[in-house]
Amino acid sequence: MDGGRLASQGEWLVGGGEMAKLIKTMDWSRTALGPMASWPQSLRTTVSLVQASNSPISLSWGTGHVQIYNDGYWPICGAKHPGSMGQDYRECWASAFPVIGDAYVAAWSGKSAYLEKMRMFLDRYGFLEETWFNFSFSPITDESGSVGGLFHPVNEMTSQMLSERRTRTLRDLANKTSKAKTADEVFGLSIQIFDESNLDLPFVLLYQVDAERRGATLVGHTGLGPGTPFSPTKVDLSAKDSAWPFADVVRSGVARQIDNVDLRSLERKVGPYPELPNIAFVLPITQPGSETPAGVLIAGISPRLTLSDPYRGFCDLVAATVSNALANARAYEEERRRAEALAEIDRAKTTFFSNVSHEFRTPLTLILGPIEDALSRGTRVLEGADLDAVHRNALRLLKLVNSVLDFARLESGRIQVSFEPTELATLTAGLADSFRPLVEGAGMQLVIDCPALPELVYVDRSQWEKIVLNLVSNAFKFTFGGTITVATRATECAVVLSVADTGTGIPAQELEHVFERFHRVEGARGRSFEGTGIGLALVQELAKLHGGQVTVESEEGSGATFSVTIPRGKAHLPEDRIGAERPLDGATRPSSHVVEAHQWQEVSVDSPPAHVPSPAPVTATGAVAKGGDILVVDDNRDMRDYLVRLLAECWHVEAAVDGVDALEKIRKNPPDLVLSDVMMPRMGGFELLAAIREDVGTRTIPVVLLSARAGEEAVIEGLESGADDYLVKPFSARELLSRVRTHLEMSRMRKVAERGALELARTRATLLADVRRKNKELEAFSYSVSHDLRAPLRSVDGFSQALLEDHADRLDPKGREYLNRVRTAAKRMGELIDDMIKLSRVERVEIRREWVDLTHLARRVAQVLSKTNTEREVSFVIQEGLFADMDRGLAEILLDNLLGNAWKFTGKTARARVAFTCSEEDGERVFRISDNGAGFDPEHVGRLFNAFQRLHTDIDFPGTGIGLATVQRIVDRHGGRVWADGRVGAGATVHFTFPTPGKESEG
């Protein structure tokens, strides 16, 4: 059949586009529909309607399910066109039938179907493609009245649905990573999102590039496990055999598309589909202001999607979002580092002032004390040991001040230096040799190994002196036996000074901190605790000033070696700071380091020599002060000698060099008082105090602590640790003598009282056989006292009432007022007796735990309170289902006190309200009784639960001051906690808890 004949058969088809032309020219006789001339009118009409529409529409007609569609439907067919025109619909769209099959079959039976946003995988380009559609199947009746075909309008939603899905992925990625504070968090949170987005990103690999651009590390992955040829954990950016172009992307900062990715060698599924991805993008993760990408993102492309421009744009946006999150995280990290640096500066400043103030106070005490003593004497002369001590400590103060100033000048760059060619070995040996008498006097050996160097070395001699003296004095401070070795040697381009010792060494975790400003190794055993923490930091800065460095090697318990390395020659030094050669000063003078180190020596300290004591001073009451034995404990020799000289005028004094020495002396011969420094080697003042208090034989000895730590917190810490007194240096001699005298007198009186108490205890020994009998007797005693005290009170109250009722006409108003006052006082006394007996019973009653219905008890208490004063209206709000595992009797006392207290303090409140509630907080049940009454000042909350403590006047709110103390003891006995908060005029709330191990609340 020729084309002209076919065309004439389609003359009834008017209008339409390309598909109308195709329909007219097709040989339909080869299809189940047969020639167009034989088509029924219903088919012709339907085809005409379809072709006239711009919407995508397809027909399925006849027993052969022949497909006819218009121009709008043409793109949906993809590569199937033009063969899909006239094809069996079921055959053409077999890949869609898992989704549309039921609706299609139902429509042929006459039931219309509409399907919205249906996801299906269509084979229209030679692979299964993920698509989305809205469509319907509508039956078309033919001339016989039966279903002749299906009207099938379609709207493809693929682009829209993919766009929404990818937008959601980008939104979630941005939202989640925006909270990241570190790069690791950014990568970890990103992978979580990618793992949920595997329809678009079947696999993702995240690599972090190191700062040197030499390598990259896998920091996140999804879809592909680590360690495969396609997902190495480490990448060498200089290698050329990688599966991905890492080096190219890092170098250029430009993304690369990789086609024909062959993942078959993995022999595993990658992504959600059986098909393996064969296209991937390698994208740089860039950072603002940096030419080098911070990372690389490798994203696989879905094998069931066409790689379109929107898809490429999505991958670019994924990388950009990760880049932004990483930039924000690094900005946060940088800000945090700045904040930590500022905090570290603040801590260093605080430590500095603490250390310096501490170090200044001891020498100031030893300067001011002897001077004040000299001024108080008629001769006003300072001489002998006092003059020597003042001079030594003035030198020490000068050394401290100079060290601080040197460090400040170094840090600000204002230090004036002159580098002179120097015989460094000779200078170093001379400086080290000044310590020889000190080292050998301590029973150790000083080895100086400083052979002549091949050339003069350029150093600032005064600064080099500080380096050597600091290191040698430091070695002596922490060495108690063996050898200190000072050596110099030349290397090819440098000179090395080493100071080695066989001392206590430095813990491994402290090595990286020893050169930090103001750092001191906690718990290190040394000859003294004195020091600012500047010495080694100063050595480091002075070494840098010479173009060198200082290092340390140490093993705890085996000594340490400090090495200072400075370059030979002068090329590394500023030309304007080079000085001319001059001879070394041969004069020797004791340096402040050596003078100070002399005070660290551990020497045997005996009692001071016998002397004729001056008349004992007179106390404030006029009595002559009694003698006594005092033990002085201080590691500073000058301070120890000064205290001994000061106290020996009135008492027998013995001295100890530290806590260990003191403890031995105390156990051999307990003194009447211990006067101890706080910071000492081996055992400090607080440790000594604890040891004294733990020993039954010494726990009553008065201990007075001396410390350079000033401030209220330091004093409170000392007193709370068990010290009887705490003196801050510098102190006056008169103040020290007065406090020592007072504590000795108090100790003497305490001993007298203890002896009396011991005698009394012996006479009552038969009454105190055991604790159980004691408790029973005390309880019986409480009842007896209750009865005995109440009887006369009842008489007072009864006779007073009789006088008022029977003889009121004989009494004047003043008399009646007095009798009313007597009755009121008797009533108050009765209440006080009841509360005291109740408190006594609370302390001694045997607790019998059971599940107590607190709601029921509280309502019963509220009813009683409401009946006691019908003129007042108090609203009680009591939560349902309040239970506690406790003693029922004590529960009644607790609620009676707390609800009664709340009821009382709302007495002057309009619309008074009392509530009893409970809530869960941090895994425990917290009960609360709150009111809107008078409240209290939060400043006094610490006194609230003390017996007989009242925060309001008796006129405003009468009471005994025992109720809340009783509450606290009930709660304590049940292992719970109780606390309160409130505000004046705004009510108060009492919170309490009861542990309920092994059983849940029944409420």
DSSP-assigned states of every residue in 383-410: -HHHHHHHHHHHHHHHHHHHHHHHHHHH
Lowest mean pLDDT among 84-93, 261-270, 860-869, 911-920: 860-869
Give the pLDDT confidence of 184-215 residue by residue, as tens digits: 999 999 999 999 999 999 999 999 998 888 89
List beta partners, residue 126.
none
Residues 48 and 39: beta-carbon distance below 8 Å: no
The closest alpha carbon to 274, from 380, 202, 379, belongs to 202
Predicted confidence band at 628 (pLDDT cuts at 50, 70, 90)? confident
Residue-level pLDDT at 1: 41
- Residue 531 scores a pLDDT above 60: no
Residue-level pLDDT at 71: 94
The closest alpha carbon to 644, from 626, 631, 628, belongs to 631
Average pLDDT taken over every residue of the chain: 81
Burial class (CB in 10 A: 0-12, 13-18, 19+), 710: middle
Q: Residue 235: enclosing H or E segment and its boundaries?
A: strand 234-236
Once rounded to an integer, what is the mean pLDDT over residues 286-299? Answer: 86
Give the pLDDT confidence of 684-710 residue by residue, as tens digits: 888 999 999 999 889 889 999 987 666
The closest alpha carbon to 32, from 69, 58, 62, belongs to 62
Give the pLDDT confidence of 738-750 residue by residue, as tens digits: 889 988 988 888 8
Residues 270 and 224: beta-carbon distance below 8 Å: yes
Residues 916 and 929: beta-carbon distance below 8 Å: yes
Give the pLDDT confidence of 779-837 residue by residue, as tens digits: 555 555 555 555 566 666 666 676 767 776 777 777 767 667 666 656 656 655 665 56
Residues 50 and 152: beta-carbon distance below 8 Å: no
What is the distance in angstroms between the CA of the first residue and the CA of the last residue of the chain? 92
- Residue 500 scores a pLDDT above 80: yes
Residue-level pLDDT at 32: 92
792: preceding bond cis by omega (within 30 degrees): no
Residue-level pLDDT at 406: 61
Residue-level pLDDT at 624: 38
Residue-level pLDDT at 944: 77
Residue type, 955: I
Residue 545's φ and ψ, nearest 5 degrees, are: -60, -30
Question: Structure pTM?
Answer: 0.46
Number of residues in the chain: 1003
- Residue 616 scores a pLDDT above 50: no
List beta partners, residue 703.
674
Burial 409-426 (b: 16+ CB within 10 A, else e): ebeeeebebebbbbbbbe
Contacts (Cβ under 8 Å, ≥6 apart) of 230:
205, 224, 243, 244, 261, 263, 266
Q: Order across the sheet with 560-567: list the strands.
A: 445-449, 483-490, 494-501, 560-567, 549-554
Task: At 446, list the tokens.
Answer: 């000083």
Contacts (Cβ under 8 Å, ≥6 apart) of 860:
none
- pLDDT > 90: what percent of the chain? 37
Give the pLDDT confidence of 937-961 residue by residue, as tens digits: 888 777 777 765 655 555 555 655 6
- Residue 838 scores a pLDDT above 70: no
- Residue 512 scores a pLDDT above 90: no
Once rounded to an integer, what is the mean pLDDT over residues 108-130? Answer: 93
The closest alpha carbon to 651, from 726, 743, 724, 727, belongs to 743
Predicted confidence band at 588 (pLDDT cuts at 50, 70, 90)? very low
Give the pLDDT confidence of 963-998 residue by residue, as tens digits: 788 888 888 888 898 899 988 888 899 999 988 654
- Residue 726 scores a pLDDT above 50: yes
- Residue 333 scores a pLDDT above 70: yes
Give the integer Cα–Cα distance in Å for 630 and 608. Answer: 12
Three-state secondary structure call for residue 240: coil
Which residue is it, tokens 């006067």? 675
The closest alpha carbon to 230, from 277, 283, 201, 266, belongs to 266
Once rounded to an integer, what is the mean pLDDT over residues 19-25? Answer: 92
In 546-701, alpha helices (H): 592-598, 637-647, 659-668, 685-694
Predicted confidence band at 999 (pLDDT cuts at 50, 70, 90)? very low
Predicted confidence band at 56 (pLDDT cuts at 50, 70, 90)? very high
- pLDDT > 70: what percent of the chain? 78
Task: At 847, list the tokens.
Answer: 């607790």
Residue-level pLDDT at 477: 83
Residues 629 and 651: beta-carbon distance below 8 Å: yes
- Residue 630 scores a pLDDT above 70: yes
Give the pLDDT confidence of 362-404 residue by residue, as tens digits: 777 777 777 777 777 777 777 777 777 777 667 666 666 666 6
Higher-scoring residue by pLDDT: 839, 559: 559
Lowest mean pLDDT among 28-42, 528-542, 754-768: 754-768
730: preceding bond cis by omega (within 30 degrees): yes
Task: At 28, list the tokens.
Answer: 């339909």
Higher-scoring residue by pLDDT: 461, 222: 222
Once rounded to an integer, what is the mean pLDDT over residues 165-186? Answer: 92
Residue-level pLDDT at 603: 42
Q: Give the DSSP letter string of 698-757.
A: TTTS-EEEEES--SHHHHHHHHHTT-SEEEESS--HHHHHHHHHHHHHHHHHHHHHHHHH
